């Protein structure tokens, strides 16, 4: 159950996540009830469209089994022993935490915990001194129901136990008919085994062509009992059926062509590269992910595994920019929360649309932060 301590901080709790901000942002926090809690949305609403007016805040959004955390200023977010705050960030701190079953997310001001009784909260907007949120999707799974005990077996063996039917739709043992049909119920157990000699009246199966209603695999109860009795006698182990003729392995004709072999994968030589303002040159073979702590989301095989470029810049998102190359065609996709600027030669820099693939050319400059740029250049020859 989610709970909070009464206080002054504007606090929003939904099934998707939690947002806590300063008391003067109560209206903005309440407006987020009708919006998604993605990082760009939270920043835009709380800043009122002006990043210089962004207040202290903490936002946690549930993404599958992970919690996406943004925190700015004197607030701290704790998740199962993991804590992150925004004291040392110029804008905000961004992190991701894995949520186990029954995990709790706590948001509170840095310092001594507030006193007072905790009040329950399912969802809504309140003023709090701290909130402890239990995501619904991480609740412990209920114990599996105990399977019912199987029904006890009876001593009566149905005809299906000794009847093997392949293709025939008639029962192997037809019910007796006529005035002499017995009326007593079947015995509760099989009769004692007869001697090993066949019982009177036992006849071997005909060797001629079977009729359309007999497939040659059906035996009578008396025949089954005789076979069981014979197998139970010492020295009467069932004979092993003769093995069929060995099939030699297939041999290719003398003039047959050799089997087709898949040629080994050839490394793709990059055509372009990214010249970072740090002095590093990154060849773009297929995909490159640039960020403070880039993470791979989806890959379609080892040949599509992207190269990860880590940069030490607090203004850069964990996974900030994706660069893809297909021959001489190069595209970029902004994946950040802070934005990326694209400056083409002789043009004014423009921000990239987040999540939209944009084609770039040699000489274009991408600005990831005030201290980090990436210029599209030809790949060096020694790569």
* Separation CA 305–CA 302 (nearest Å): 5
Question: Higher confidence at residue 165 or residue 257?
Answer: 257
- Which neighbouring-strand residues pair with 69? 60, 95
Nearest to 302 by CA among 283, 327, 318, 285: 285
What pLDDT, on the 0 to 100 scale, is given for residue 157?
46
Output the average pLDDT for the chain.
Answer: 76
% of the chain surpassing 90 pLDDT: 31
40 part of a folded domain: yes
Position 205 scores a pLDDT of 53
319-340 confidence digits (pLDDT tens): 999 999 887 789 999 999 889 9
- Does 339 map to a domain? yes
- Residue 364 pLDDT grade (very low, low, confident, very high; cuts 50, 70, 90): very high
For residues 362 and 383, what is the distance between their CA atoms, to the nearest angstrom? 18
The answer to whether the CB of 320 falls within 8 A of the CB of 368 is yes
| H/E element, 81 | none
pLDDT by residue (tens digit) across 91-104?
A: 888 888 888 888 89
Rounded Cα distance between 239 and 220, Å, is: 21
Residue 176 is assigned to a structural domain of this protein: no
The answer to whether residue 75 scores a pLDDT higher than 60 is yes
Identify the CA nearest to 135 among candidates 95, 104, 100: 104
The reply to whether 45 falls in a domain is yes
When divided into structural domains, the chain yields a total of 2
59 pLDDT higher than 80: yes
pLDDT score at 313: 86
Q: Is 253 contained in some domain?
A: no
Looking at residue 164, its pLDDT comes to: 44
Q: Indicate the pLDDT class of residue 271, thresholds 50, 70 and 90.
A: confident
Does residue 97 form part of some domain? yes
Residue 61 or residue 198, greater confidence: 61
- Domain-embedded: residue 235: no
Residue 235: pLDDT band with limits 50, 70, 90: low
* Average pLDDT score over residue span 264-283: 78
Question: What span, in angstroms and rounded, lies between the C-alpha atoms of 3 and 259?
Answer: 68
Given a contact cutoff of 8 angstroms between Cβ atoms, the answer to whether 11 and 126 are in contact is yes
DSSP string, 341-356: EEE-TTS--EEPPBT-
Determine the pLDDT at residue 168.
44
Confidence (pLDDT) at 338:
83
Determine whether 191 is exposed, middle or buried from the number of CB atoms within 10 Å of its CB (0-12, 13-18, 19+).
exposed
Domain annotation covers residue 93: yes
Contact between 320 and 290 under an 8 Å Cβ cutoff? The reply is yes
**Distance between terminal CA atoms of the chain?**
56
Using the 3D structure, point to which of 138, 154, 173 is the last residue of a domain: 138
Token digits of residue 51? 């990043």
Domain end among 138, 158, 191:
138
Q: What is the pLDDT of residues 111-167, one digit of tens each?
A: 866 677 889 998 999 999 999 999 876 555 455 555 555 555 554 444 444 444 444
The CATH number covering residue 318 comes to 2.60.200.20
Q: What's the whole-model pTM score?
A: 0.41
pLDDT bracket for residue 293 (50, 70, 90): confident
Supply the pLDDT for residue 264.
Answer: 47
Residue 270 CA to residue 378 CA, distance in Å, equals 9
- Domain range enclosing 129: 3-138
Final residue of a domain: which of 138, 156, 181?
Answer: 138
């Amino acid at each position: 159950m989610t709970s909070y301590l009464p206080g002054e901080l504007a606090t929003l709790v939904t099934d998707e996540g939690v947002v806590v901000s300063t008391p003067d942002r109560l209206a903005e926090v309440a407006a987020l009830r009708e919006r998604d809690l993605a990082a760009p949305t939270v920043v835009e609403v709380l800043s009122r469209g002006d990043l210089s007016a962004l207040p202290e805040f903490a936002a946690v959004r549930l993404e599958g089994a992970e919690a996406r955390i943004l925190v700015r200023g004197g607030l701290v977010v704790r998740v199962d022993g993991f804590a992150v705050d925004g004291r040392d960030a110029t804008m905000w701190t961004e992190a991701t935490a894995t949520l186990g079953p029954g995990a709790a997310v706590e948001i509170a001001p840095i310092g001594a915990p507030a006193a007072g009784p905790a009040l329950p909260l399912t969802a809504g907007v309140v003023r709090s001194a701290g909130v402890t949120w239990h995501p619904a999707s991480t609740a412990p799974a209920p114990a599996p129901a105990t399977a019912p005990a199987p029904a006890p077996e009876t001593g009566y063996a149905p005809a299906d136990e000794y009847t093997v039917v392949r293709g025939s739709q008639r029962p192997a043992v037809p019910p007796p008919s006529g005035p002499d049909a017995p009326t007593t119920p079947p015995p509760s157990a099989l009769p004692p085994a007869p001697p090993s000699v066949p019982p009177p009246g036992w006849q071997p199966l005909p060797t001629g062509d079977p009729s359309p209603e007999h497939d040659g695999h059906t035996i009578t109860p008396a025949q089954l009992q005789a076979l069981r009795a014979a197998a139970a006698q010492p020295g009467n182990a069932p004979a092993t059926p003769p093995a069929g003729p060995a099939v030699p392995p297939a041999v290719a004709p003398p003039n047959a062509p050799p089997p087709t072999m898949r040629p080994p994968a050839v490394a793709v030589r990059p055509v372009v590269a990214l010249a970072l303002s740090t002095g590093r040159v990154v060849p773009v073979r297929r995909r490159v992910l640039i960020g403070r702590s880039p993470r791979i989301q989806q890959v379609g095989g080892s040949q599509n595994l992207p190269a990860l470029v880590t940069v030490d810049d607090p203004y850069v998102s964990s996974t900030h920019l994706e660069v893809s190359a297909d021959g001489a065609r190069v595209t970029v996709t902004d994946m950040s929360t802070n934005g990326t600027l694209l400056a083409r030669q002789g043009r004014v820099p423009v921000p990239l649309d987040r999540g939209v693939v944009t084609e770039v050319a040699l000489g274009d400059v991408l600005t990831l932060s005030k201290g980090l740029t990436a210029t599209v250049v030809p790949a060096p020859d020694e790569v």
